[in-house]
Amino acid sequence: MATVISTPAERLQNHPGTVEQHWREHPRMAQVPEVGAAQLVPAGSRAVVVAPHPDDEVLGCAGLLMALAQAGRDILLIAVSDGEGSHASGSAMSAGLLAQLRPAETIAALGVLELVQVDIMRANIPDSRVAEHRLKLQDLLLAYVQRSDTLLASWHLDGHPDHDAVGEVCRDVGRRIGCHVIEVPVWLWHWRQPDDGDIPWHSARKLALDQEQVERKAQALQCYRSQLEPDLSTGNAAVLSNEVLAHFLRPYEIYFV
């Protein structure tokens, strides 16, 4: 896997990505078994979402969270970083500004999804440096995660160093505590191809979303204005371009169980 080029915005300038139509039409996607929200997160289990950056919780699992909330399940969101590293050095969108904007965007998005009862814990780990602070994240999870919880973490081979580190730490914590871990692919859909050999299709599961859930997820994603607009101060494209967003407007979500 190639090393990520600095920020997501900079890497997107150098990589066209895999178009969503290629994923939707590929036989592997059609073969993924369907699963219900209650099978992913059983009754009595709290969903603990470990999001590397603000927006990952909505991109990856908004549909599942809506279904769990409707069923009255407890949800804890652990915001690993404040997402202050999404833009290039020298951008008018400075790290200090982004550290204020991006968590506020998450609050707005959760409101659109009617997830107002979600508990949020901010780990305050520096964006793009989660691997350097993996022990801090590990200690936090060991202190707050229970054996009965279901950990929802970014996939450990997702293609962004923070996503990879979060996935690795959560896998390790899951083994130590004995709780169930589900990995959520995000950047996989842009950087990878369906036939890449290390995609764990055998453990993939498909959660179907109804039309209302798809529409509400799309509305929630519009809350992340800092990621949706091109950076005029540097000339970099939007982090979440229409091509990237298309991967998350499917009538289903994919999880690695």
Q: Is residue 2 situated within a structural domain?
A: no
Q: How many structural domains compose the chain?
A: 1
pLDDT of residue 113: 98
CATH number at residue 118: 3.40.50.10320
Whole-number average pLDDT of the chain: 94
pLDDT of residue 7: 66
Q: Is residue 48 situated within a structural domain?
A: yes
Please give the model's pTM, rounded to 2 decimal places. 0.94
Residue 220 has pLDDT above 90, yes or no: yes
The pairing of beta strand 119-122 with beta strand 204-208: unpaired
Residue 184 has pLDDT above 50, yes or no: yes
φ, ψ at 100 (rounded to 5°): -90, -40
Residue pLDDT, tens place only, 6-44: 566 566 656 679 999 999 999 999 999 999 999 999 999
Sequence-ordered alpha helix ranges (H) in the chain: 8-12, 20-25, 27-30, 37-40, 56-70, 95-112, 134-144, 161-177, 188-191, 211-221, 225-228, 242-245
- CA-only gyration radius of the chain, Å: 17
Nearest-CA neighbor of 80 among 154, 175, 176?
Answer: 154
Q: Is residue 251 situated within a structural domain?
A: yes
The Cα-based distances of 74 to 64, 102, 148 in angstroms read: 12, 24, 12
The average pLDDT across 177-186 equals 98
Domain that holds residue 160: 8-12+22-27+34-256
pLDDT of residue 83: 97
Joined together, the tokens standing for residue 242 give: 């229409």
